[in-house]
Structure 1
Amino acid sequence: MPPKLSFSLSRYHWLKPFFSSYRGIPGKKCGTIVLSAEELGNCRDVATMQFCANKLDKKDFFGKSDPFMVFYRSNEDGTFTICHKTEVVKNTLNPVWQSFAIPVRALCNGDYDRTIKVEVYDWDRDGSHDFIGEFTTSYRELARGQSQFNVYEVVNPKKKMKKKKYINSGTVSNIILTLNEQRAVLNFFLSSLAGNPSQSTSLHYMNPYQLNAYAMALKAVGEIIQDYDSDKMFPALGFGAKIPPDSRVSHEFPLNGNSDNPHCSGIEGILEAYHQSLKTVQLYGPTNFAPVVNHVARYVLEEKYQYFLIMSCRLFQQSMVELDGDDIRISSRGKIAERDIVQFVPFRDYIDRTGNHVLSMARLAKDVLAEIPDQFISYMKGRGIKPSPAPPPYTPTGHTLQTEI
């Protein structure tokens, strides 16, 4: 009987149809499946690459070696996933592999600085391929093309530990890398925009004399909506960054650094926490908005709020437009959304050319919040929630009102 697999899909209910054939055995633990997911980047570039090697280790008793390479994309959790295998070049220690095309998204998910691991093997007919060695690189390094910077030592860690005089098991060189230049420039540009906040090219740049685009958006909308909250304490969460002390990638971290209490006092408290977080975290993409939405959903259920507003500032996230149901109401698995609950407003359309930031912020806030009154009323009516009776008119105690004619 083939083994049965049992696992929980509570967080990934949309995958149930794919695993409906797997059933557990009652009363018996059959094993565990660990499911990892990562948001795909918007990069659509395709890179064409070609590699050669020199003086690889001889692995075959009769002959030399039959080398091939395996490319691995690094994941956010530190694991690696195979993304490409070259063909086998028979009986040589100096192979030249054929050029191949690969989507940059498959290679590094559009992150030019993400680690790419490459392993070199000697092919064996029985499948027990002999490990020759490995090296790591990144797409940004590969994009330099044929040069001394793209000659990599193929190292076998076990041989390096055993042999003191061991240097390497050969070298691999990048011969060709071609890419649609226009799109490559665009991706480097976007990378720099979201990059180091200390550089003026970043939209997160902390200019001592004026607010950056994110701070302007937060301030424009936040100064209005904060007056509708009784205590003006707002949870402020960040996503898409490596956070201290272990530099793990997080898409759900408190801007104030306090996991137990991510609340900030008013919009000024949020801005202060935002600026402080830029000094401690390292921005890292692609970003994933889902954990923040789930965090807010859990919070709303625990605190029994009836209505909650999420404000998000994103950089060039055109896919957010698809969630804005002004023209077509979004749907999922045949179920149509009850209301249009997303309002997407591109900040760049509201920059006043004369430099009048006050006017820009006022226009931005007006359009961001335009749909909330109707949305709120629709929500309350749909659930039969009626407004509380109006309070009686205020009359100062101990005074008699007199009117003179």
Structure 2
Amino acid sequence: MESYQPQVNMTDSLKQKLQLFISCRKLRDLDYISKSDPFVEVYLKNDERSSWILVGKTETIQNNLNPDFSTPIIIDYFFEKTQDIRFEVWDQDPSRKEKQGSHTTKVAHLLGARDQTYFAALSKSEKSKKNCGSIFVTTDAVKDTNKSVIINLQCSGLKSKKEFFGLINTNHPFLEIKRCRTREPTMENAKNAIKVYTSKVLKPTLNPSFDLGEISLDKLCNSDIDLPLLFQVWSYQKSGKHRIYGTVQGSVREMIDQICENHQIIKRQGNPYGTMTFSRFDLIEKPTMVDYLRSGWKISLSVAIDFTASNGELSDPNSLHFIDPHNPSKMTQYEQAIYNIGNILEPYDSDKKFPIFGFGAKPRFCGIEQVSHCFHLNGQENPEVEGVQGILEAYRNAMYGGIGLYGPTNFTPCLQAMTNFIKDRVSLCEYNIMLYITDGAITDMDETIEEIVRASYLPMSIIIVGVGTANFSRMEALDSDGQLLRDKFGNYSVRDIVQFVEFNNYSNDISYLHEDVLREVPGQLVSYMANNNIAPNPISHVIPS
């Protein structure tokens, strides 16, 4: 008799997360006065039936044609799939971006490259053979951990650098951290180190202090506390040719063990260039989202739907709100987004009651003839409905009950209504996800950024799904991966709470939508808890007899 063999999910077993670190060399200079300010967008296509999906973008580096980007791009790798990957290099100008070059290959080629460092020429387009510089992609398998490092350090006695007869001080220091690929203490290992962190450029000083805050251990050293790290202090130059003060080398383990000694010497070419003092180097283990859910926290969904005239008249088959009378069961793009995302989140909410709003229309079904930028989509005093099915029913009832599409696309009123709603429920151990579904460019950008900055203090995340073919550059600006949003008054968000995706990128396979939309939520939830010193509550589990 044959023994029982458990079924193995091969998709899960062969799935691996990869970190991609990107560098470029000899990029085309598209600026007339200064050098280009490059950044890279990375797109992935998981199989021939899929569309290209934006999976990440690097930070922008000013005035540099040979950039080394410190923001890693995380992708899911499947051994059994043929995955295409495209790298697009852009020059960021104040009002627009201009493509510098691109390259398309397969993920397998990244992994098959020598030392997993892939090199290729960039071209202006897929058909063009004109060389637009080169791209280097270093690939590491991600070793997941929920540990982080908190680092504070100070430098003193840096050697002064002045130009123009000493009249201009060019000592604008900044810090970079690079990690070696292996533990081997060789010059070649240090030479091939990849950049994983870049600080802000400080005001002129020879005694800078760097508060690095919290850096995840997988990003810093790929969860290997014995991997050598290089701490490099630089003097910023507008030309992009920055000058190095010196370097300190050591692993996380060494830094923690030696912090009591307090001093490290910054050296360059064997000559002392000052001292680097680590006042804090703490290894911490953070709770996960699962820990908070286990201790009683729940996740709630709210939805705001765009009913502006740019969606198209309701009777027009090309309208994004068009309901086909001959096939009424066919979902609009708005309904597909609600259904796909809502069904993932609904089980996490114990009462299954979700507030829903509409904006940019005349909601005649509510007895309102004026344009409203925030109305209850269910037409009731309480905006909550029962479950995802309740959201879909309220949407259809509004469409059939008489609604006048208008405009403009103002986000702020619904966001204010939701933040006020959350403030009244902040004691309920509830983390809120507000889903905006919109077709157009936002018209109240400054006010929305102000409200997002305020919302970053609350237990909430904001997800924006763009439907249709409008220009979504402002939505992408709200996403602001790699840097915190800042309002016009100079106030920063305390954490990143916005995620934007474009619906049309998933037209061939809608199942990927919820995965990309919700990828950042666990980290955003944990960051709120950490900022507010909220630990998971211990729970005693009682199994009934």
Q: TM-score range by the shorter chain?
A: 0.3 to 0.5
Instruction: Say which one has the larger Rg.
Output: 1
Q: Which has the higher strand share?
A: 2
How high is the TM-score relative to the length of structure 2?
0.35
How high is the TM-score relative to the length of structure 1?
0.47
